[in-house]
Amino acid sequence: MRIALKIAYVGTGYHGSQVQPDVATIEGELFNALTQLEIIEDPKSARFSSSGRTDAGVHAREQVVAFNTDKPNLAIPRVINSKLPNSIWAWSYAEVPDDFDPRRWAVSRKYRYIMSGEQYDISKIRAASKILVGEHDFANFCSKDEDKSTVRNVERIDVRVSGTLTKIDIQANSFLWNMVRKIVSALTMVGSGVRDEEWLNQMLDPESYEEGLEPAAAYGLTLMEVEYPQPIEWCEDGYAIRRANENVHDYLVRHRVMAEVMDHLVPKE
């Protein structure tokens, strides 16, 4: 039987989602849990695949993975989470077709970037974001990955203010390596007045204009959602979600305290 899971994680402290030798990764922790529970023997024989990779320090609310197992009764979030660190948790599962590939079947992905917005002109960022919507060549907004096409269709970009924070939601058919973080960098450059909309239009014409961009910091980025053409009958695990809420609450308390601590470390003038 082929099982799909929705996985969430705090990416801080991990070298990305894709398994790598000798470093901590999201997939590495997940493989350990699945093999310890004997849900799979190994990723290759189980035809393990994911909806995509996230870079070091990037988080996810809804990373989708799939694998084959002959123990579907154990392949449920509350069981799998018993072998995962608190920074990673499964929260929903589904039985899917034997040929289901979470990456190739996906038709859309949504990311959210959260940043401090106090130093930017939000109206300029909103106006600039409209230029990036649609099908464009995003070669200037990615880290080159072999000879893959750099044309992507950005379906929507929503920018909203929440207190002192700015949240940027970007949805596209698929994303290039570092594409979201470089888009955020470009938007903040326009929002701070360093660049203008004419420059942004030039950036979308890589054949005549080329410029490198530093990606925005990884800690502000979260993979929010992956959409598929046919609805999947997901079963949410209430117990797993409650435990995840408890873990997230602990993170919130610790970081709120640390924010106050950091504020006291520098002597006031």
- Binding-site positions for substrate: 111
Distances (CA, A) of 81 to 10, 171, 186, 190, 228: 14, 29, 38, 43, 25
Burial of 121 (0-12, 13-18, 19+ CB in 10 A): middle
Give residue 181's region: left, alpha or beta (phi > 0; psi -120 to 50). alpha
| 145 annotated active-site | no
DSSP string, 227-261: E-SS----EE-HHHHHHHHHHHHHHHHHHHHHHHH
Q: Kindly name the residue from 22, 42, 55, 263 that is annotated as catalytic.
A: 55
Specify whether the CB–CB gap between 112 and 167 falls below 8 A.
Answer: yes
Specify whether the CB–CB gap between 25 and 14 falls below 8 A.
Answer: yes
Helix, strand, coil percentages (3-state) for the chain, rounded to 5, are 30, 25, 45
Report the chain's terminal Cα–Cα distance, integer Å.
Answer: 64
d(CA 91, CA 260): 32
- For helices 122-132 and 179-191, the axis angle rounded to 10 degrees is 140
- Per the document, the length of the chain is 269
The 8-class DSSP code of residue 264 comes to: H
- Non-local (6+) Cβ contacts of 170 within 8 A are 110, 111, 112, 113, 154, 156, 157, 180, 183
Catalytic residue numbers, as ranges: 55
